[in-house]
Amino acid sequence: MQQILGTYLGSASAEAGGLVDDIVEPVLTELRGFCELKSLSGGRELRERLTAIREAGRAASLALTTDERLHVQTVDDIIEDFAAEYRMSLILALTANYALSQKVMAWQEAKAKDPSVGDHLNLTRMEFVSEPSDYTIPMSSLTSASTGEPLVMTPANLGAAMKEMMTGGTPSPIYRMAYTQWFTTIHAAWEDTYRSRLAAAHGTAPDGKPWGKNDIRSEFFNEIRLIRNDISHKNGICVDSAGNEVITWVRSGEEIAPTARDMLSMLDLFPAAELRQTPVRVERTSSQLPYQFENEWIAEFTAHVSTIEPVKKKRAVVVKRVLDTWMGRTPDE
């Protein structure tokens, strides 16, 4: 038995490495000590060695079943986690400013009864005060930010007014801020957390290589990215997201200002089925031009192309058509 164990333990030592091996190494050490015993006929040394093996085995078993670092989640587990975070963050965005709205209403009611009520909100105590400080905000500013523009219906704007009413109306500035910030929040969760977790859970590709973060793709979260980019880099105007096919309430050239109804519609769009699909590794078929140019010229060139084609993902096609014409080729349609 000692010889068989010795052969097995020698093989285990050659394959050592990783968290599991670190946990079971004390057990292997005690087993090696057992293999080195001169006699198995009994005695204190044998009893001590068997006791040490038992205690090391118990410790390793406990670590293997409780260490969070060894918890392997399935694809469905991760999708369930992501869906919960997605919906929770969306609900928080929808309700984030409820307390402030209630405070505005309370101030208006108090002011109507007693004009001496303070005109500033102390943000540390959430109380109305008369004197401004580094910790206060004027209630006039908060009221303005909490109130949407009034809708005045006339014969000339009847169609537009009815459309606005049907879509939930224009949100007030603080609600619009909360809604648009949500796209940055959920995009970060997708990029920084869930893509890599899903890649690990999907395991290995048919070629035996593990899936990587960039192999996990989602048309839905790509549209989230495009909306986030327009909010952050296009002054909130729908440009890159104009071609969205899943999130369709954005309008080309218009401000991205989702209503509460638009945000609620996002609850039903979480792409669980899309994320559950086996990834497909797409080989890179493009590369950058192998030339260096002065930074100033690059800036002018980029600005010029951006003027011609405001949608970022279409700019390469514009440049290629120009170069094809210059080389005497027929540009791709």
List pLDDT tens digits, range 268-310: 999 999 999 999 887 767 777 888 889 888 889 888 988 888 7
Helices (H), 190-329: 195-202, 219-233, 260-265, 272-276, 295-308, 315-326
Mean pLDDT computed over 40-57 = 76
Whole-angstrom Cα distance, residue 185 to residue 232?
12
pTM of the model: 0.63
Whole-angstrom Cα distance, residue 185 to residue 171?
20
Task: Provide the mean pLDDT of the chain.
Answer: 81
Q: Is residue 333's pLDDT more than 60? A: no
Mean pLDDT computed over 43-66 = 79
Q: How far is CA 183 from the centre of its chain?
A: 9
Q: Is residue 150's pLDDT more than 50? A: no
Residue 256's nearest CA partner among 272, 274, 235 is: 235
Whole-angstrom Cα distance, residue 202 to residue 276?
9
Q: Who has greater pLDDT, 3 or 33? A: 33
CB 304 within 8 A of CB 310: no
Whole-angstrom Cα distance, residue 17 to residue 25?
10
* Least confident among 56-65, 88-97, 150-159, 209-218: 150-159
* Least confident among 83-97, 180-194, 201-215, 317-331: 317-331
Q: Is residue 188's pLDDT more than 80? A: yes
